Structure 1
Amino acid sequence: MDGPGRFVGYRVTLPQVYRTLGKLVERGLVEFEVEAREGKPDAKVDRLTVDGRQTLLDWAHSPYEPAPRPMNPDFMMRFLLAGALGRELAVEVLRTELDYRREQVRTPTRIDELSGALAPIDDIDSGWAAQVMRAAHEQGRASTAAYIGWLEVTLADFENRPHA
């Protein structure tokens, strides 16, 4: 997870991985075997069970519901895992995410109303706080615009790519 996957947006530690694998084993979705390796510690190899495979397929084919927060790591996991199962799934997830984000930016944000609603605190200059909030809001809008651009380009690429 510290290698090429670090840009995917999901940071996990090995203890989290092992805890999750243990839970999946308990639920009968994953099984493992220990492979002896000469001159090295034995390796534990985890594999999906038949039920685990079906659960993954059911999830991959279930409707994708975007989260309100743009660039949510759950999108990337759905895109990576469901999308790896086929072009149609990848395109469907991309299209759903893109439609949601386009609608999201169509809805005007009244940042002045939001900053005006800040509860006054003696040490806070409300004018300055409003400037900081506007700057943060603009950073979010710019990031979302770039994200929408990536979604558009990737969707077009996937839709126009010849089937393998």
Structure 2
Amino acid sequence: MALEYGLLALLSFRPLSGYDLLKWVETEGQFIRSRIHHSQIYRLLGRMVADGLVDYRVDPREGRPDAKVYRLTEVGREALLAWVRSPYEPVSRFQDPDFLTRFAFAASLDRKAALRLIDTELAHRRAQIARNRDRDRALVFEDPLPEVDQGLTRRVFEEMHRYGAASVDRWVEWLEHMRALLAGPAEGKSVR
């Protein structure tokens, strides 16, 4: 579902062809979503046209197939803004693609909604850290397979915990940075 809203958000910037949308998803979009086949985008655009979220005009191309250039409709605009402003429920894994998609576009469409999104994610991650950082992580082995190297396994799991803790700390640091950016003065616009 986030892909649909991501495409709507891209079309809020300017009209784009399906090929242009695909190029964006494969380059910039790879940071918020991965493994999207081009047929998914074209199928989704067809459904979005049928649902009245976008419309298109045909752009004739000499010596090449004509291109459909899509633009957001008023219905699409309303759906996009409703998604940006809707409540967000964090998932257990941080750096969730749906969060990143929503945040990336909420920041440009509705600063207050983006701040609520950041605050929700920050509160969830801080509570998650408080619950898990110092938990008992002792591994218990009872009649393990002979191949299990218990000492190495304990060391590997401890290093995985350290890596995960450092990663989530970096995520929280980035969220705090983005919150400060959003809370600062608007560039050329008033805060909504």
User: Could you tell me how far 1:160 is from its partner in structure 2?
Assistant: 2.2
The equivalent residue for 1:2 is 26
What 5-or-longer segments of structure 1 have no aligned partner?
none
Secondary structure at the aligned position of 2:76 is classed as helix
The aligned length equals 162
Deviation at 1:91, TM superposition (A): 1.5
Name the TM-score, length of structure 1 as normaliser: 0.83
In the alignment, what sits opposite 1:143? 167
In structure 2, give the amino acid aligned to 1:97: E
Query: Where in structure 2 are the equivalents of 1:7-156 lying within 5 Å?
Result: 8-11=31-34, 12-109=36-133, 110=135, 112-113=137-138, 115-116=139-140, 120-156=144-180
* More contact order relative to length (CA 8 Å, sep ≥ 6): 2
Moved over 6 A (4+): none
Identity within the alignment, %: 38
- 2:84–2:110 CA contact under 8 A, matched in 1: no
User: Alpha carbon RMSD of aligned pairs, Å?
Assistant: 2.4
Aligned residue type for 1:127: G
1:46-78 deviation per Cα after TM superposition (whole angstroms, max 9, x unaligned): 223332222212111111111110111111111
Structure 2 unpaired stretches of 5+: 1-24
Distance, in Å, in 1 between the alignment partners of 2:82 and 2:175 is 24
Distance 1:49 1:125, change over 3 A: same
Cα gap change, 1:116/1:33 in structure 2, threshold over 3 Å: closer, same or farther? farther
Tell me the TM-score normalized by structure 2: 0.73
